[in-house]
């Protein structure tokens, strides 16, 4: 193992103990990684060195196109800003806050080039969430789109030592003005393959976000497994989709997979149904990453648009209903590649290539990974039996200083928290979540986190949040049961006020779509909340 290049040892010091780490396996021939590698070189500089510098790599919504050489020089200039202007020390955490834009990509590469650790955040995050992220990761520097400055400025109060640099505000201190005065060359830090490259935050069932750490080697491994063995895209493809880069699903689909093969990516700041439908046609997108609910909504647009460029469609974030898979294939002729991944595993580890998919099944294990169905004692169960999904491979869970590592990883296996079954052909079928996480429209929502937001309202005495099936949209909605303080009328105006309160406190997608006012929450004799009764009531 190569010596770490990180002088700031914060992340390394907070890795799980050796006994709590998952088993790592590198079974594919292409997974013979050197001891030292900077992922920014692999995904960016390598293409210039190998003669692909003039190929397009990033396309903005307005059609502005950046070549691999232009992106590299842009990232080099920003890396110099980080080191020369803000004294970045290798191993420092750098928070990124933006919608999916070319500037965000350049910043992402710049942090890795300079030996920093990327902490990309959702543009929808509010002050409270940004405070949690910046405090837990002890962020040293933040690079932020000026349009999203307000919440970050409020979050600065809890971490005043954090340096913030904005782009797009036109000031002399802006990132683009600083970068313009820097040279376009930069010597990448010779990071170890096992140096932490990014910290991705995911909500936990306790409400406290979990921080998953991934090393430089992991970023290559997901491309050499799912990317090469299942996705099978080529350099002429144009990638795009709806997930933000803060989600590792989006990071893979919008950045890692296209840049690994020298393809291009179309960056959409807004990716609702109408925007996505138009973008596929306008930009001739050929590889699409989005959630099941989006495919259902997009199906009716297929006959109205020229989507002849589209050839690979990937779904993840929640289970893909068989009826949606069938409807999409009937409308487009394309079989959706359904997959299950997790922030802890970085990306998809169960999925089959388009020509081997089956409606209603997630697919077979991705080459390079091993997956089984276990009982509660960690024993493999017979085919057709429902149990806990267990997996290991070239990537795995490394929580940042978190006791929940003991739950996610046991005896070398990663347990993502899903109940599955597998048939005799090796096809895995999703049954349910094994914990209290609500997966709504492709987003992971922690019920306790929503409850904490509701409890900040003066009229809420107590509350509980569960997932409610939404058959009309083939997804799950966030529903809250609320007990009001005496004297407050639980009418429609009150419910609307509580929903708006949540949207102003946490990311809007986490806010409950439905609130039911009740007199008391069901509890055991010892006071423990009986969530299952609320689920039954929903």
Domain range for 395 is 10-17+30-422
**pLDDT score recorded for residue 529:** 77
CA dist., res. 531 & res. 280, Å (int): 42
* Residue 92 belongs to some domain of the structure: yes
Residue where one domain finishes, among candidates 368, 388, 422: 422
Model confidence at 435, pLDDT cuts 50, 70, 90, reads low
Say which residues have a Cβ less than 8 Å from residue 401's Cβ, sequence separation at least 6.
14
From edge to edge, which strands make up the β-sheet containing 196-202?
163-167, 141-145, 93-97, 117-121, 196-202, 210-215
Helix (H) or strand (E) holding 79: helix 68-80
pTM: 0.88
Do both 407 and 444 map to the same domain? Answer: no
**Across 412-432, average pLDDT:** 92
Model confidence at 473, pLDDT cuts 50, 70, 90, reads confident
Single out the residue of 29, 32, 26, 36 nearest to residue 394, CA to CA: 26
Say which residues have a Cβ less than 8 Å from residue 144's Cβ, sequence separation at least 6.
95, 96, 97, 98, 152, 164, 165, 166, 167
Q: 521: which DSSP letter?
A: -
* CATH at residue 53: 3.40.50.12780
* Residue 22 belongs to some domain of the structure: no
DSSP E strands in 244-307: the ranges are: 264-266, 287-290
Output the six-digit token pair for 127: 């002050």
Do both 457 and 355 map to the same domain? Answer: no
- The percent of the chain in helix, strand and coil, each rounded to the nearest 5, is 35, 25, 40
Model confidence at 205, pLDDT cuts 50, 70, 90, reads very low
* pLDDT, greater one: 253 or 476: 253
CA dist., res. 330 & res. 435, Å (int): 34
Could you report the per-residue pLDDT of 90-117, keeping only the tens digit for each?
999 999 999 999 999 999 999 999 999 9
Strands 514-517 and 475-484: parallel
Number of structural domains (the chain) is 2
Say which residues have a Cβ less than 8 Å from residue 82's Cβ, sequence separation at least 6.
88, 94, 110, 111, 114, 116, 141
pLDDT at 428 over 90: yes
Do both 94 and 145 map to the same domain? Answer: yes
**Alpha-carbon distances, residue 295 vs 269, 442, 461 (angstroms):** 18, 11, 39
Do both 41 and 179 map to the same domain? Answer: yes
Model confidence at 203, pLDDT cuts 50, 70, 90, reads low
Q: 165: which DSSP letter?
A: E
* CATH at residue 470: 3.30.300.30
Do both 175 and 308 map to the same domain? Answer: yes
Single out the residue of 524, 433, 521, 525 nearest to residue 480, CA to CA: 521
Do both 441 and 377 map to the same domain? Answer: no
């Amino acid at each position: 193992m190569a010596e770490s290049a990180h002088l700031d040892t914060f992340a390394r010091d907070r890795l799980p103990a050796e006994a709590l780490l998952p088993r790592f396996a590198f079974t594919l021939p292409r997974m013979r990684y050197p001891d030292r590698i900077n992922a920014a070189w692999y995904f960016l500089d390598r293409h210039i060195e190998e003669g692909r510098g003039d190929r397009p790599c990033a396309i903005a919504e307005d059609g502005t196109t950046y070549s691999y050489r232009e992106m590299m020089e842009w990232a080099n200039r920003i890396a110099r800003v980080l080191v020369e202007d803000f004294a970045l020390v290798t191993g420092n955490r750098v928070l990124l806050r933006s919608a999916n834009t070319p500037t965000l990509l350049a910043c992402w590469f710049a942090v890795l080039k300079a030996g920093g650790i990327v902490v990309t955040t959702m543009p929808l995050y509010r002050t409270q969430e940004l405070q949690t992220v910046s405090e837990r990761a002890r962020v040293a520097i933040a690079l932020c789109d000026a349009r999203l400055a307000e919440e970050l400025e409020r979050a600065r109060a809890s971490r005043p030592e954090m340096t913030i640099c904005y782009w797009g505000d036109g000031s002399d201190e802006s990132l683009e003005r600083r970068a313009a005065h820097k040279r376009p060359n930069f010597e990448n830090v010779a990071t170890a393959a096992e140096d932490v490259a990014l910290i991705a935050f995911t909500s936990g069932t306790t409400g406290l976000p979990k921080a998953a750490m991934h090393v430089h080697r992991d970023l290559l491994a997901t491309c050499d497994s799912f990317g090469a063995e299942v996705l099978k895209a080529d350099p002429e493809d144009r990638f795009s989709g709806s997930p933000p880069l803060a989600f590792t699903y989006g990071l893979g689909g919008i950045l890692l997979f296209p840049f690994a093969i020298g393809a291009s990516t179309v960056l959409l700041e807004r990716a609702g149904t109408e925007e996505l439908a138009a973008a596929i046609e306008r930009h001739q997108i050929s590889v699409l990453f989005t959630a099941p609910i989006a495919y259902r909504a997009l199906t009716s647009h297929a006959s109205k648009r020229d989507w002849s460029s589209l050839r690979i469609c990937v779904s993840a974030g929640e289970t893909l209903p068989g009826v949606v898979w069938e409807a999409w294939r009937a409308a487009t002729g394309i079989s959706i590649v359904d997959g299950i991944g997790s922030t802890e595993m970085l990306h998809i580890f169960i999925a089959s290539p388009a020509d081997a998919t089956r409606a209603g099944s997630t697919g077979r294990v991705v080459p390079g990974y091993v997956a089984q169905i276990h009982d509660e004692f960690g024993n493999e169960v017979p085919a057709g039996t429902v149990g806990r999904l267990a997996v290991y491979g070239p990537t795995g869970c490394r929580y940042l200083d978190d006791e929940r590592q003991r739950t996610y990883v046991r005896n070398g296996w990663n347990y993502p928290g899903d109940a599955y079954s597998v048939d005799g052909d090796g096809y895995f079928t999703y049954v349910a979540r094994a914990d209290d996480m609500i997966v709504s429209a492709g987003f992971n929502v922690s019920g306790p986190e929503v409850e904490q937001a509701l409890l900040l309202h003066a009229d809420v005495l107590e509350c509980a949040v569960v997932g409610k099936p939404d058959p009309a949209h083939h997804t799950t909605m966030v529903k809250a049961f609320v007990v009001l303080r005496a004297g407050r009328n639980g009418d429609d105006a009150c419910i609307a006020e509580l929903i708006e309160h949540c949207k102003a406190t946490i990311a809007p997608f986490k806010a409950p779509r439905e609130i039911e006012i009740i007199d008391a929450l069901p509890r055991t004799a010892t006071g423990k909340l009986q969530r299952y009764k609320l689920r039954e009531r929903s």
